Structure 1
Amino acid sequence: MAEYVFVPRKAPSLGVEASTALFPVRRVFCVGRNYSEHAREMGHDPDREPPFFFMKPADAVVAAEGEIAYPPLTDELHHEVELVVAIGKDGVDISPEKALGHVWGYGVGIDLTRRDIQAVAKKMGRPWDWAKGFDESAPCSKLRPVSAAGHPGKGSIWLKVNGEERQRGDLADQIWAVSEVISYASKSIALKAGDLIFTGTPAGVGALEQGDTVQAGIEGVGEIVFTVGKR
């Protein structure tokens, strides 16, 4: 019987609220510019663009607690608070009407972004991977199962840095609802149990510095707090 050439690392996972269980993370999809005001602050017209996706490595997902390292190669580490959808049922070409049946639960996540690297990539027509997919770039809360949270279609989403509010919006402001995002993604790839979808961020993204305390939350889903560590 074949053996691995070295011992495989443990699969990335997230905790589950009020449980010792773990949710194994398979892939991480992120929706770009899914709130009108954020799309405008990034210089785009939200009324003309269908949803688009980029990805982060599964092991970029870490618990949003304690200290998150400030990454190398950047002077513009930006925060983007997002509703995270945890997929619990496989599916391909899922209709919007059936999409929520594939959701296991929800969490509060931060899409950390090396904005200066992203700006260069955009200018040169290059992929965003180096700007989005670095180590610890997807801190996330414990997941709240649908059985506990239901499906949050509205409710405040916010982020503070050192007690000062930077971002605030409402899930109802999303251009593409969770059911539509799942349906759209599943027409291109097969969604599998363990996949996470970061569903976009409201306006107010900005820079983080070493030593900053980040607090964020989504009504009916949860809250997180962590500090930004050293480079």
Structure 2
Amino acid sequence: MSNLVNFVKTGKKIVGAAINYKAVIKKKNLLKPDKPIFFLKPTSSYITEGQSIKVPEDFEITQEVELGVIIGKTCKKVPESEAMSYVGGYCLALDMTAMSELKNARQCGFPWALAKSFDTACPVSRFIKLEEIPDPHNIEIWSKVNGKLKQKANTNDFLFNIPQLISYYSKNITLEEGDLIVTGTPPGECKKLAREKGGPWCIGKGFDTSCPVSRFITLEEIKDPHNIEIWCKVNGKLRQSGNTNDLIFDISQLISYITKYMTLEPNDLLLTGTPPGNLPVDKGDLIEAGIGDIINLRFEVE
């Protein structure tokens, strides 16, 4: 319990449910999704009461009030019938969203990451004990801006309930103690967005084992990171080969742009993009990859 009280400091990820109120689907005339839609927010977006929400320059942001579910113990592939036993507590959360960036991303078919992940984009309440909310599927949540009611709804209007969310997420992503699930926001007075193409890429990029990495490589081993060969083979056949001198945005530009909106912390990993040739792999395949003759790694696909 003591660790969960400090979920803001101990949790590793924030998983957000999108379009999870029936009233939202009705109001926006959306097609009902057949499985939960979700996105990820970094824990660097947390703030707690007493801190201020900071609007990045040129951003247009809106508030989205949500019930937060805090995972009490690590879980993977949890059946719905057991899911509530993995809930350690709750919180109230605001999923602050940069609607200007969200709209642009949707129009281009890009991920929503920046719109959901800027610093201060996840204000949360204190930890709420299980006994304080006996039935999380029948509570009212609301938000006001400058004293004016903007959102009000009951969680009995969830499209996917908490066991369904936990079961679906844990099928693909390991949920760990202190992780937060924000369960979606009800309709309210927000700027209406066009129904554009594109959405979050989270399941495509965030499933377990989706980021195999090599050992740590020292600065001395890579004298010029903007002029190195990287390659990838599958079953011994070369699939990808490129030089980082072909990067559209170099490392300095990436770090500068990202840190304009998001705090990068020690040991964070920045992936700089991949050269052409990324084709499907199958179970039983052997993937090999390398940086010139500096390092190579091997992973089997199961």
TM-score, normalising length from structure 2? 0.59
* 1:60 corresponds to: 45
Instruction: Name the stretch that deviates more: 37-46 or 121-130.
Output: 37-46
Separation in 1, partners of 2:58, 2:21: 28
**Correspondence 1:17-28 to 2 at 5 A:** 21-23=5-7, 24-28=10-14
**Correspondence 1:73-222 to 2 at 5 A:** 73-74=58-59, 76-206=60-190
Unaligned runs of 5+ in 2: 192-302
Separation in 2, partners of 1:155, 1:148: 11
Q: 1:49 Cα shift? A: 3.5
Q: 1:70 Cα shift? A: 1.8
Does the 8 Å contact 2:12/2:179 carry over to 1? yes
Q: 1:146 Cα shift? A: 1.3
Unaligned runs of 5+ in 1: 1-13, 208-231
Q: Structure with the greater relative contact order (CA < 8 A, sep ≥ 6): 1 or 2? A: 1
TM-score, normalising length from structure 1? 0.76
What amino acid is aligned across from residue 82 of structure 2 in structure 1? Answer: K
Structure exhibiting the larger radius of gyration computed from Cα positions: 2
What amino acid is aligned across from residue 68 of structure 1 in structure 2? Answer: I
Does the 8 Å contact 2:23/2:157 carry over to 1? no
Tell me the number of residue pairs that the alignment of Structure 1 and Structure 2 aligns: 189
Q: 1:157 Cα shift? A: 1.1
- Structure 1 or 2: more helix by fraction: 2
The percentage of aligned residue pairs carrying the same residue is 32
Separation in 2, partners of 1:100, 1:80: 24
- Calculate the aligned-residue CA RMSD, in Å: 2.1
* 1:36 corresponds to: 22
Separation in 1, partners of 2:171, 2:160: 15
